[in-house]
Structure 1
Amino acid sequence: MDLSINRDNKVFQDVKQRRNDVAIPTKFFIGIIVSCYFFPFEFTFLPSGLNTKIMLALFGVLLLGIRSIKEKSITLDKELMPAILLAALFSIIGFISVDINYSSDYSYANYWISFSTWLLGAYTTCEIIRYFYGYTSFKLLFDYLIAVCVVQCFLALIIDNVEPFKIFIDTYISQSTVAEVEFLNRVERLYGIGAAVDVAGTRFSIVLLALSAILVGSSRNRTNTFYYWSAFVIITIIGNMMSRTTIIGTSLGILYIVLNSTSLMKSLSLDRLKMWRTIFVVTFIIVAIAVFFYQTNEIIREQIRFGFEGFFNWIEIGTLTTESTERLNSVMWIWPDSNDYKTWIIGKATFSDWHAVGTDIGYCRFVFYSGLLGLITFSLFFVCNAFICASKFQSYKVFFFFLLALTFIIWLKVATDLFIIYALFYCLEPKEVS
């Protein structure tokens, strides 16, 4: 099917009409599916470990089985082969580390399972979108991801401020995919449904970066500017209250917009001036609302001070720093001994036991698990994903280089795997329908 952007093309008109015909309840259902993939969680009444990501992956196996029966064969896209090979190599290096260190920590030795689960879950998610819309695209996917992140932000505030709702969520929803509820309550952290701490921060960062790319691409449409920029500011403010890792996505997103400001400002038409007016007005209104609650609600004031601790320290004591960054720079950079060549090369197969390593910095933890061999292979894995997706989605090429930068920046703070988003890109159609 030709999905190229051509307003005289009958296929485009049919798909456009089908998109307009998707009912609100259906969109709500799709949003739940997208959230179950992007922010997986467990139900307290189901077996431990059976989270929504795994459920979607199992459904993906069923869909592939049905497809194989209908088509009598399934071909693997060639674009996936480099990623599969690097994921397999990373797993093999992990297995070697586990074996020679007599370890039982298979955290990344089993990475091929995580890789397959994300890919199958992404396949299910995209197939559901394709079933109702007749197509998938970068922008359509992120419209849902943006909505999901905004909802997660407001859910976090409701859970924190409405006790009956909090009790209901804690009774039926397990947050163990990110952190135990007892821990989140003890440290007084906001949480949504499967969205908390660095998991929320890294995924909010992905969406903020994509928001910037979409905003730049749709800068002539003032309605889109209003919705997208409102979402950007909301996720920035509440997202940082949930996880300060969100600020990385905010910073990269703003940098993305600034670097494209030349193209945005080269034609100062009335529409473009109205677009910038919309951005400033939306920012002022949302920030004013945040300031109001900061002044009138003690709980929200503490959450805002936590989320923007660096900003408040800069204003109050003249130092742009936070307690966590001070700790990160002073005691968290822990490496193997200089003469411990074995650990430097192949690691100690230690990852799950955080205290055994003593650091949460991604680079350090990957080295301790599978050495420089593992770290370099895992890095190449994400470089490969970024280049493949940049080639697939030409109009968002710069976005993927920013996404690659996001991966390596986040590893300065925490060990995380951003294949969750690349898996979705592999399942999308490369051509766009606005």
Structure 2
Amino acid sequence: MMRLLAMLVVAMIVSGYYFPFTFTFLPGVNTKMVLAVIGIGLVLYEGCRKRGITFSKELMGAVVLACLFSFVCLFSIDYNHTDDYSYVTYFATFFTWLGGAYAACAAIRLLHGKVTLKLLVSYLAFVCATQCILAILIDRIPVFRMLVDSYIDQGQEFYQEVGRLYGIGAALDPAGVRFTVVLLLIAYLLCEDDVIRQDRKKITGFLVCFFIISILGNMISRTTTIGMMMGLAYIIYSTGIFRLSISVRNFKFYSVFGCLLVVFVVWGVYMYQNNHNFYQNMRFAFEGFFNWIEMGEWRTGSTDRLNAIMWVWPESFKSWMIGTGKFGFYTFSTDIGYCRFILYCGLIGFGVFSSFFIFNACVFARKREHFLLLSFLLLSLTFIIWIKVATDIFFIYALFYCLDWKESEAKILVE
């Protein structure tokens, strides 16, 4: 029981990193910042204890690119005489994510003695599934919503005004991007980890999380659809689920996947037909699918608006190259990541920012066998989400930098 409680506490710490939020009694400071301070303190402590702090060459490369991007953004706002520091401080954001990731991984290591990819994905899958369930509870139970809102400040007034579900720090596109990353990681473990593939309970646990995040996560943010489709594509490609022959290696996975798919489909159809709130949530979550079935065209209100008015580009050569130095305050009335980044720091800044994520993807593509495909999909995700929103996925790379990639030889920030 005590170990279970300890694991729950660690999961809460991981959630505080992955879905940062602010307490009402501590305004201006979110959980990611708190964990970053703790993480930096741990790095300094380890450095004093071992009389030196050692950074890997890969991490130093990422630091250089993050600082270079910040410098380009600084040049852009200085050249354009603006005071929009949205991404000038990206180097600080970089170290905040890295410090928070170190603290979260330190908590896992304290309990389990190591921080492997499997352990990390297990916690992230549990956290994301829990956030999805919490979002439903917050929406359905007014007393619980009042309790959460009285202690958690996350802009919930806006979510309630526009009728969107939210968890604790999990809402809108940022939540959808995080769900998408975890769905890809779950698919990777299910397809590539032989220990998990031979354990029916572990297969069931990961697949239950996959289905919960795919369904309820889409109710929070339809960006989750990207992860659901990419995750299913990964599973289909890696396991050959539609082949006529079933290999012994994949038999347990096939059987559990098939049973759970039937259970969730039956449950979903029943709830769709008998629960009005669930009906409305499903219509929103899979609006494109329902429009395709009913009208023969895959479309959503948000994508229509995106395509109609949000593709805004620079109007001069100078702006194309170095940007306008304007990003915040919704200056150009667009959410599209490509437009906002190029308008802010030009093609030069956008090129550096893209190189930063290409570098991170290449670093981890070489970490272990079969990781190349996942790294490619994560890199693809970076460029896909910029079609819809200006955000990034360094939060997962920060965690990767803190993992024990070789259990016998821990390669982390402080060696």
In the TM superposition, what are the counterparts of 1:204-283 in structure 2 within 5 Å?
Answer: 204-217=179-192, 218-262=196-240, 268-269=246-247, 272-283=250-261
Distance 1:270 1:305 in 2: 39
Deviation at residue 33 of structure 1 after TM alignment: 0.5
Tell me if the contact between 1:215 and 1:224 (Cα under 8 Å) persists in the aligned partners. no
Unaligned runs of 5+ in 2: 409-415
Match of 1:316 in 2: 294
Q: What are the within-5 Å matches in structure 2 for residues 108-147 of structure 1?
A: 108-147=87-126
Deviation at 1:45, TM superposition (A): 0.7
Find the residue that maps to 1:358 and give its secondary structure.
Answer: coil
Counterpart check, 1:431 vs 2:403: no
Cα pair distance change 1:126/1:264, threshold 3 Å: farther
SS at match of 1:88: helix
Structure 1 residues 73, 263: CA separation in 2 closer, same or farther (over 3 Å shift)?
farther
User: Secondary structure of 2:210's match?
Assistant: helix
Deviation at 1:102, TM superposition (A): 1.4
Answer yes or no: is 1:153 the counterpart of 2:135.
no
Determine the C-alpha separation between the residues in 1 that align with 2:51 and 2:251. 56
282-291 vs 359-368, greater mean Cα deviation? 282-291
Q: Distance in 1 between matches of 2:202 and 2:335?
A: 38
Show the counterpart of 1:4: none
Distance 1:199 1:45 in 2: 24
Q: Is 2:197–2:252's contact at 8 Å kept on the other side of the alignment?
A: no
Q: Which of 182, 187, 192 is the equivalent residue of 2:162?
A: 187
Q: Please tell me whether the aligned partners of residues 311 and 339 of structure 2 are also in contact (alpha carbons under 8 angstroms).
A: yes
Q: Which residue of 2 is the match for residue 18 of structure 1?
A: none
The alpha carbon displacement at 1:264 in A equals 9.7
Q: Which segment is superposed worse, 58-67 or 358-367?
A: 58-67
Residue by residue over 1:381-415, the C-alpha shift from the partner in whole angstroms, topping out at 9 and shown as x without a partner, is: 00000010111233422111110001111111111
What residue number does 2:22 align with? 42
Match for residue 69 of structure 2 among 90, 93, 101 = 90
Q: Do the aligned residues in 2 keep the contact of 1:351 with 1:368 (CA within 8 Å)?
A: yes
Alignment of structure 1 residues 44-63 onto 2, 5 Å: 44-48=24-28, 50-63=29-42
The aligned residue for residue 345 of structure 1 is 321
Matched residues in 2 for 1:431 and 1:265: separation? 35
Q: Which residue of 1 aligns with 2:360?
A: 385
1:255-287 residue CA offsets vs partner (Å, 9 max, x unmatched): 111221349969734563343122111011122
SS of match in other structure, 1:357: coil
Aligned partner letter, 1:357:
F
Contact 1:361 1:411 (C-alpha < 8 Å) held by counterparts: yes
One-letter code of the match for 2:43? L
TM-score by length of 2: 0.94
CA contact (8 A) 1:362 1:412 kept: yes
Q: CA separation of 1:40/1:284 partners in 2, compared to 1, >3 Å: closer, same or farther? A: same
Classify 1:342/1:333 alpha carbon distance in 2 versus 1 (closer, same or farther; 3 Å). same
Give the Å deviation of 1:432: 5.9
**Is the partner of 1:171 in helix, strand or coil?**
helix
| Corresponding residue for residue 412 of structure 2 | none
Q: What residue in structure 1 maps to residue 4 of structure 2?
A: 24
Within the candidate set 38, 48, 53, 1:69 is matched to 48
User: How far apart, in 2, do the equivalents of 1:97 and 1:406 lie?
Assistant: 27
Amino acid at match of 1:145: L
One-letter amino acid matched to 1:242: I
Structure 2: how far apart are the matches of 1:104 and 1:219?
Answer: 53
Alignment of 1:371 onto 2:346: yes
Q: Is the 8 A contact 2:14 2:124 kept in 1?
A: yes
| Distance (Å, rounded) in 2 between the aligned partners of 1:84 and 1:273 | 44
Q: Secondary structure at the match of 2:374?
A: helix
Unaligned runs of 5+ in 1: 1-20
Pairwise CA RMSD of aligned residues? 1.7
Number of residue pairs matched? 405
Q: Distance in 1 between matches of 2:307 and 2:247?
A: 47
Q: Helix, strand or coil for the counterpart of 1:214?
A: helix
Deviations 1:203-261 (A, max 9, x none): 00000001110111233332222111111111000000000000001111111112213
Q: Distance in 2 between matches of 1:110 and 1:327?
A: 31
Contact 2:114–2:407 (Cα < 8 Å) also in 1: no
Q: Equivalents in 1 of 2:238, 2:66: separation in Å?
A: 34
- The partner residue of 1:327 within 305, 311, 319 is 305
CA distance in 1, matches of 2:122, 2:186: 9
Of the three residues 404, 408, 415, the one matched with 2:383 is 408
Give secondary structure in 1 for the equivalent of 2:229.
helix
Question: Is the Cα–Cα contact under 8 Å of residues 337 and 390 in structure 2 kept in the other structure?
Answer: yes
Q: Answer with 62-71 or 104-113: which moved more.
A: 62-71
The separation in 2 between residues aligned to 1:432 and 1:410, in whole angstroms, is 33
Does the residue aligned with 2:327 lie in a helix, a strand or coil? coil
- Residue deviations 1:35-74, cap 9 Å, x none? 00000000011132x0000000011121122112211111
TM-score, L = length of structure 1: 0.90
Structure 1 residues 282 and 411: alpha-carbon distance in aligned structure 2, compared to 1, 3 A threshold:
same
The more displaced of 284-293 and 358-367 is 284-293
Once residues 331 and 407 of structure 1 are traced to their aligned partners in structure 2, the CA distance between those partners, rounded to angstroms, is 23
